Chains A and B, each alone.
Chain A
């Protein structure tokens, strides 16, 4: 590999570090990298697993659908991990026994699936190999650093050798220590990147632009006055149509609501509906204009919202009463003629 390529791999491993700036593959780092020995184990397993799976995906899985590829990555991961784990069990039996639960967990490392899907299935073998090395090395670097820091401060040892520290922060060996170490390591890396590569912005890898697009807003709005889960406009209409109810002024917000349109048709005669389609009330700068539907396009509108106002509602209601009265009158007259 040329010097230029090595430089590119090193730069990619640092600036585009998957753990520090993309928050990928955190679980094994936090749970497993508690000492240098386990960190070496995790680095070696991840690097080998990543290279093999990425190359396999590049060579054979391009034709397979994405939904089936993720299954292959997981199964392949376990199959690769088993012999590797046996090798480590032979050399470091105590550490291997401690991390045995993480064996399948490393197999479903999100780092591998993400890199295979993002890169391996879209590029050539050569490019995939370089990517797997770069991301694997970047991941390994963080694992080793985290493991070393946690072992020094948490156990007071390095590679099992006692450093003679009197004060040990054993809490660092718990997952919270892993998150804390990752936080400080990523801050140091950011500082270094700013100095060495001033043009690069590693923080952009973790996009926070959609942070507020949450389902929780709906729940939160339940306690907000503006939230209208049961169509309050409809209820307001029922209230105003009730002759025994007090007529209260309808708030401006409700007046402008488009949702009010279908509810107004409730309980109207055909004549009123025909008239309503012919005429439309437009609110323009707080004033109401009544105009035929054909002409309404010519009227100036700043907001672009054409809605039916309350006066229209009363007008159509009055028409209803009139038509009913007429029908009743005709019926009476007819009855009188017969008599």
Chain B
């Protein structure tokens, strides 16, 4: 029971209270660009969730090895990128050979794997000393956080696109950035971080 509670708590925390996209800026480019073309949101969310969850779990398990745990930031960077690369090749093989996916989907696997959000999750887990269960929850939560961020930005963009009152200089990306800033401020408030560092 406590395992399930830990998992759900970590996932909800990563998704709602510490939404990595809004409170950390990780994966912000992918979220903003995808919100303009949200048609492929579901496959992209699934891929990001798979990558963040599995990489997060493997990296947390590797942390249990004393040698790995004693490494510095540079060493951890190398290990995290190595884990991500190996898992990417595995997913790529599965998608190409087993699922016979289209070229467009295969290209999307690369975008889903090598982005700041997926790579930030194991680092956050490492700093927060998460257990494997919490690491799974954190990975799942970050995937859901991505979906939430894209849908929130998309809803705002639709309104901004139709709004005639926006000054000419602010139309397009300036308005989008300011809108994302407001969302980011809201999530920062929810996380209880406050405005003083």
In the complex, which of the residues A30, A70, A78, A108 contacts B25, with contact meaning CB atoms closer than 8 Å?
Answer: A30
How many interface residues does chain A have, given as a range?
A: 35 or more
B24 pairs with A171, CB closer than 8 A: no
Assess A85 versus B84: contact at CB under 8 Å? Given A108-B119, A216-B38: no
Report if A71 contacts B (CB, 8 A): yes
B66 close to A (CB within 8 Å): no
Task: Encode contact with B along A181-218: 1 for CB under 8 Å, 0 otherwise.
Answer: 01110111011001000000011011110111111100
Q: How far is the CA of A208 from the CA of B175 in the complex (A)?
A: 13
> Which of A21, A78, A82, A187 lies at the interface centre, i.e. has the most chain B CB atoms within 10 A of its CB?
A187
Q: Which residues of A contact B195 (CB under 8 A)?
A: 170-171, 174
Q: Is the CB of A67 within 8 A of B185?
A: no
Task: Report the tally of A-B residue pairs with Cβ distances under 8 A.
Answer: 201
Residues of A within 8 A of B88 (CB): 71
Q: Which secondary structure characterizes the binding site on chain B?
A: helix
Whether B60 is near chain A, meaning CB under 8 Å from some CB there, is no
Knowing A26-B25, A174-B195, the reply to whether A211 touches B157 (Cβ < 8 A) is yes
Segment 27-49 of B: residues with Cβ below 8 Å from A:
27-30, 32-33, 35-39, 41-42
At the interface, yes or no: B131 with Cβ under 8 Å from chain A?
Answer: no
A159 within 8 A of B: no
Q: For residues 99 through 126 of chain B, which have their beta carbon under 8 Å from a beta carbon of chain A?
A: 106-107, 109-111, 113-116, 119-120, 123
13 contacts between A and B (CB under 8 A): A23-B32, A81-B77, A101-B123, A103-B77, A110-B29, A170-B196, A175-B24, A179-B28, A179-B178, A180-B177, A186-B173, A187-B174, A207-B37
Q: Which residues of B contact A (CB under 8 A)?
A: 22-30, 32-33, 35-39, 41-42, 73-74, 77-78, 80-81, 84-85, 88-89, 92, 96, 106-107, 109-111, 113-116, 119-120, 123, 127, 151, 154, 157-158, 161, 167-178, 180-182, 184-185, 188, 193, 195-197
